[in-house]
Structures are given as C-alpha cells and as structure tokens.
Amino acid sequence: MADRLSPELEAAAAEMAGSERGFHRPPPGLDAAAGAAVRRRALELASGSGPLEAIGGYTLDDDRASSQHCENFIGAAQVPMGVAGPLLVRGSEIDGTVSVPMATTEGALLASVNRGCRAITAAGGATVFVEDVGMTRAPVFRTTGIEATRRLLEWLETNEERIRAKAQQTSRYLELLDVRPSVVGSTVFLRFRFATGDAMGMNMVTIACDRVVSELIEPETGVECVALSGNYCVDKKPSAVNYQLGRGKRIHAEVVLDEPTLRKVLKSNAEALQDVAYRKNLLGSVAAGALAFNAQFANVLAAVFVACGQDVAHVVEGAMGVASFEARDDGSVYASVYMPDCPLAAIGGGTGLDTQREALAVMGVRADPDRPGTAVRRLAEIVGAVVLAGELSLTAAFTSRDLARAHERLGRSSAANTDD
C-alpha cells in the first residue's frame, strides 16, 4: 500500500523532489520512519517510478538503520533467503552439524550447495582450520627521498612499543601485531596488522592508524601522510599481497569422499573431478590471469554475507583462493579449499540488523565478551565448510553435464522461459 502522507508532508516531498539538494534533508522533527516515507514519495515524484510499496515494506529498526547503516534511508531491498544443510563441520569452535542461511536471487545455488553439504556430511564432515591473520590498514606517506625514508623506518623500529600503545588505546579489543613497510621511490606504505576480536575491525583499525599517524608519526618525523589508506591494505580489491600475507581469516577446509558417496550423491567420480579442477580451476584461471583458482567461492560467500550481515564488498577478497581435488587409488577423492583473505565479523556492522542477527543465531554464532574472537572463528569454520560444499557440487555438475539442466529447471524466471 502506498504511503499516505499528510498534506504538509506531501508538500515537503514535492519540494524535495524538485530540490537540487537531493534527498538527505527531510522536514525537521520527523522520526526515521516518517523521514523515509517522505523520501520515498519524493523519489516517486522525481523519478516517475510509481508507488515504492515493496521498498517501504520492511521490518528493520528505522532509527538504527538510518543512523548506523544507511544515509538517505528509504526502505529495504529484500533478497530471498534459504538454508543449506545439515552440514557436518569439524573445527575448534564447532564439531557438529549446522544449518547455513544463504540469501540469493540465483536459482539452483541453494540446491547445489545443499547437495555438497549432503556429500560432506555423509563422508564424516569437513575438517576446517582457521588462522586469524588480522585486519590491515596501510597509510601512505611521501618523503623527500631515500635518506628521509631510511630515517622514517629507523624511527618506526625504535618506537614500535609506543606505536603499539597508542594504537591499542583506541579499543580494548584491539591488538597491534606488526607494521610492515614497503617502499617505492619517495613513497612509503606502512601496513598495520591488528587482531580485532569478534569484529571484522576495519573501522577499529582505521581509527587506530589515524591516531598513530596524527599523534606520533607526523609530528615526530615530519613525514606527511598522503592518505590513511594507500591501497596496500588491501581493502575490497583482489591483490597479490593479500593472497600471500592473508587478511582477516585464512581458512583451510578439507574432506575425503569415498567412491559410493561420489557416485550416489554427486553423480561423479574422483578422476573426473580431478580433471575438471585441473583444467578449469588451475589452467583456466592461469590462462585468464585470474587470482581465483576455484569454481564459485564468490557465489557462496555473497549469499552467506548478505544473509549474515557481512560486508558484501569483501567477497572480492574472499573469492581469491584455491579449490583442489586429488583422486586416490581407492576411488575416493581428497577435496580442499584454501581461502587466504576472508574478512568476517560476529559483531558490528550489519550483524546487528534483526534478520542478520537471527541468521547468525541459527549457526550458533554469538559473541562472548569473555572469549573474544571465538564467535567469528566459528563463523569462519562454517564459511570454509559451506564454500567447500559449493565447490564439490558445482565441480561435480560439470563432470556430469548437469549444470545447464539444473539452471534450466531451477534458475530460469518465467519471463525468460520462452519458446524460440
């Protein structure tokens, strides 16, 4: 049902629609819900879209959404959510079955991942190991040349403990692990690496780096910080440095599937899986110059990230990684995924939204102040296992030529389903 506004608010919406200031300033004194309604009406008038009823139908907390998550708030984009599982995961923070909420508009994805979960569970579960590599931020500095750069690096080495103390003053959950310099001519990148507890930590480390730069490095060395991020972090971009050094969580997951499970659940065999992985994941990615040696890390990550309140832009980092398949003499296959760069959060950001908090609760991901970092490690272990499930099922679909048939049956909209 379209928003019914008072004559005064209808007039305000009309004025907003014709204003060059855009949609950021509704009439004063309105609460978040009323402000969103005025913006929606103004957008209807400005765009000629017709009623934005679906966008205005949501269960979000208006005040929280508009003040913490989204400026110029008008409503919500709804994405269908399903569940994959049960999935048996063997890790340090979870040793049992779990159901995994996933939000996607891609038909066939949940069915495929669910098949992979069934195969893993039948095989006794996925073994997962997670390394907390740490969240990074890399300010970039300009010096006058080699000598000034040398003095800066000497100062950094001498003042390491002062830098650590200054950074850790900004949060009791923050620990500075190290600072790694990289020099290109008169440009110096300092890659700060932090442990951030159960938070993904990007805001925490940015604030800490700003404090160190503005209160220690610049005043004591005279070297200018050009930008608080120098793209050597590397945030939300595929990069060799993150692939090599890791960022966020470094995830390893593996499973051995015997011949009956391969045949009955995946409709495939070890030799065929190994061949597709070699020619597609390895050679295909090398030929393309890709940093992702896998079939669909991004698909599974995006669906979990949307459902569970993660920063969706970090999919571009998490999608880097390797899926490998090794045929064994007994007809079984060893399958693994390696994800060197997967930023995740159990608290903060989108994890506080109601639907996302519920999705995390389904997986038992609840932060414990007395055990910081354990909740996000549990999430990382589940993520590693469900990504492995997705790789198993899609790779098997390539071997059996089922991919196109599955998408034709499950993934085509009625609008696209026309006879040629």
Which residues are catalytically annotated?
Answer: 106, 311, 407
3-state SS of the chain? CCCCCCHHHHHHHHHHHCCCCCCCCCCCCCCHHHHHHHHHHHHHHHHCCCCCCCCCCCCCCHHHHHHHHCCCCCCCCCCCEEEEEEEEEECCCCEEEEEEEEECCCCCHHHHHHHHHHHHHHCCCEEEEEEEEEEEECCEEECCCHHHHHHHHHHHHHCHHHHHHHHHCCCCCCEEEEEEEEEECCEEEEEEEEECCCECCHHHHHHHHHHHHHHHHHHHHCCEEEECCCCCCCCCCCCHHHHHHCEEEEEEEEEEECHHHHHHCCCCCHHHHHHHHHHHHHHHHHHHCCCEECCCHHHHHHHHHHHHCCCHHHHHHHCCEEEEEEECCCCCEEEEEEEEEECCCCECHHHHCHHHHHHHHHCCCCCCCCCCCHHHHHHHHHHHHHHHHHHHHHHHHHHHCCHHHHHHHHCCCCCCCCCC
* Those residues with Cβ within 8 angstroms of residue 27's Cβ, 6 or more apart along the chain or in another chain: 8, 9, 12, 38
Calculate the CA dihedral of residues 50, 52, 54, 57 and round it to 10 degrees.
-150
Residue found by looking up tokens 């190994």 in the block: 274
Task: List Cα–Cα distances, 227 to 139, 140, 206, in angstroms.
Answer: 6, 6, 11
Counting every residue written for the chain, the total comes to 420
Peptide bond preceding 86 in cis form (omega within 30 of 0): yes
- How many Å apart are CA 385 and CA 387, to the nearest integer? 5
Nearest to 200 by CA among 368, 33, 346, 68: 346
